[in-house]
Amino acid sequence: MTVRLDGGRSVAFEAKDYAAVDHGYAATFHKAQGVTVDRAHVLATPGMDRHSAYVGLSRHRDGVQLHYGRDDFADQRQLARTLSRDRGKDMAGDYATPEQDQARAFADRREIRFPELARQVVEKVRDKARGMFAGFRPKSTPEQAASPAIERTSSPHQAKAIERYARATVDIGRMGEKGLPVLPHQEQALAKAGDALDRTRPHAARDLASAIERDPRLARDAAEGNTGGAAKAMETERQVRIDPEKRAGRFVEQWQGMKEARASMERAGDRAGAEKLGKRMESIAGGLHRDPQLESVLRARAPELALSMERGRAIGQELARSVSIGRDRDRGMSR
């Protein structure tokens, strides 16, 4: 067997000298998500960030080696800076965490509804902001190093911003309940309120919107000036967003809740509802690869999800498979 490199150098050996040959496979970071191998070799490139680096450096059982070229990185400092950067523009909208969808489903099953029209306006504002700041790269502000005193207590300035955001949300919700279109000035009010809230701390509007989706009563209370509950829930959402362990805990809780709701629908004869919820669960499981940190933590909690992990199979695939098996079994029993 002969191996010849582009530079002209070649290496040859007799196949009879080796009893066995271990095969290696080249793959992109996207294709490698959910895959586990004995040993991994990762080639660093300038287009990487901390998310792709995490995927590449966590695929191994026995060992991993990181390789980089001097033509791409002048020194290890530049390499470390590239592999640790947070590409916030990509992650904020393009890789929404699965628990955001689960929270909506969790609330919908219990008829706790965040007005759909308000949600659509929030999404429109978010998309517009994403386009406005497409090339903007702010200075990094380490969220996890924020002052505990600030996190524990909502400042008067933040309380006012929360109240303003809640009022804008409630106004839009009322329009939806009456079947009326949202007026341009209401959309602008929500966008400006979100900007003001984000100035109190990064991603505050996103965290409050997530908290309101989980408990719409927070918006009504905050709009009346009672912002304590909203501030506390907003901080909880921040902790879930930045901590993979907390995200995993919420995922397990909500997945178990969806399983119970689906089983209840089956017992009540609501097969259409159970089928719809099952498809939603499969979609959520299929999106786990977008959050490799969550995926990694969930593998260790597979027993809580009633899973027996097969070697080399991604946990999202196992979850989707468990849903489809349950659906096929239920169909068989109904015949």
**162 and 295, same domain (yes or no):** no
Number of domains in the chain: 3
Assess whether 137 and 232 both reside in one domain: yes
Whether 6 maps to a domain, the answer reads: no
User: Residue holding tokens 């033509």?
Assistant: 71
Instruction: Give ∠ CA 137-166-149 in degrees, rounded to 5.
Output: 65
Q: Are 304 and 296 in contact (CB under 8 A)?
A: no
> Do residues 59 and 199 share a domain?
no
Residue 163 lies in a domain: yes
**pLDDT at position 92:** 38
pLDDT digits (tens, 9 = 90+) for 82-101: 888 765 444 333 334 444 44
Residues 130 and 198 in one domain: yes
Length in residues, the chain: 335
Q: SS3 letters for the chain?
A: CEEECCCCCEEECCHHHCCCCCCCCCCCHHHHCCCCEEEEEEECCCCCCHHHHHHHCCCEEEEEEEECCCCCCCCHHHHHHHHHCCCHHHHHHHCCCHHHHHHHHHHHHCCCCCCHHHHHHHHHHHHHHHHHCCCCCCCCCCHHHCCHHHHHCCCHHHHHHHHHHHHHHHHHHHHHHCCCCCCHHHHHHHHHHHHHHHCCCCCHHHHHHHHHHHCCHHHHHHHCCCCHHHHHHHHHHHHHHHCHHHHHHHHHHHHHHHHHHHHHHHHCCCHHHHHHHHHHHHHHHHCHHHCHHHHHHHHHCHHHHCCCCCCCCCHHHHHHHHHHHHHHHHHHHHC
CA 258 to chain centroid: 18
Do 137 and 215 share a domain, yes or no? yes
Distance CA 129, CA 288 (A): 26
Instruction: Clarify whether residues 234 and 179 are in a common domain.
Output: yes
Picking from 242, 265, 292, the residue at the C-terminal end of a domain is 242
Domain boundary among 242, 266, 291: 242
Compute the distance between CA of residue 224 and CA of residue 164 in angstroms, rounded to an integer: 10
Q: Are residues 93 and 75 in the same domain?
A: no
Please check whether residue 10 lies inside any domain of the structure: no
Answer yes or no: do 207 and 294 share one domain: no
Are residues 57 and 22 both part of a single domain?
yes
Q: What are phi and psi of 39, to 5 degrees?
A: -135, 140
Residues 80 and 130 in one domain: no
Q: In the structure encoding, which two tokens stand for residue 257, read together?
A: 């809740």
Parent domain of 294: 244-334
Does residue 50 form part of some domain? yes
Residues 34 and 154 reside in one and the same domain: no
Q: Is residue 79 part of a domain?
A: yes
- The two tokens of residue 83 are 């592999």
Angle between helices 271-286 and 98-109 (to 10 degrees): 160
Token readout for 16 is 């009879």
pLDDT at 120: 52
Domain membership of residue 7 (yes or no) is no
For residue 58, what pLDDT is reported? Answer: 84
pLDDT of residue 51: 80
- Is the domain of 60 the same as that of 159? no
pLDDT one digit per residue (tens) for the chain, 335 residues: 788 888 888 888 777 776 666 777 788 776 676 678 888 899 988 888 888 888 888 887 888 899 988 888 888 888 888 888 765 444 333 334 444 444 444 444 433 344 444 455 555 544 544 444 444 444 444 554 444 434 444 688 999 999 999 999 999 988 888 888 888 888 899 999 999 999 999 999 999 999 998 899 999 999 999 999 999 999 999 999 999 999 999 999 989 999 999 989 888 888 888 899 999 999 898 888 888 888 889 988 888 888 876 666 788 888 988 888 766 555 544 44
Last residue of a domain, one of 84, 113, 138: 84
State residue 87's pLDDT score. Answer: 57
Predicted TM-score (pTM) of this structure: 0.51
Query: Does residue 193 lie in a domain region?
Result: yes
1 found inside a domain? no
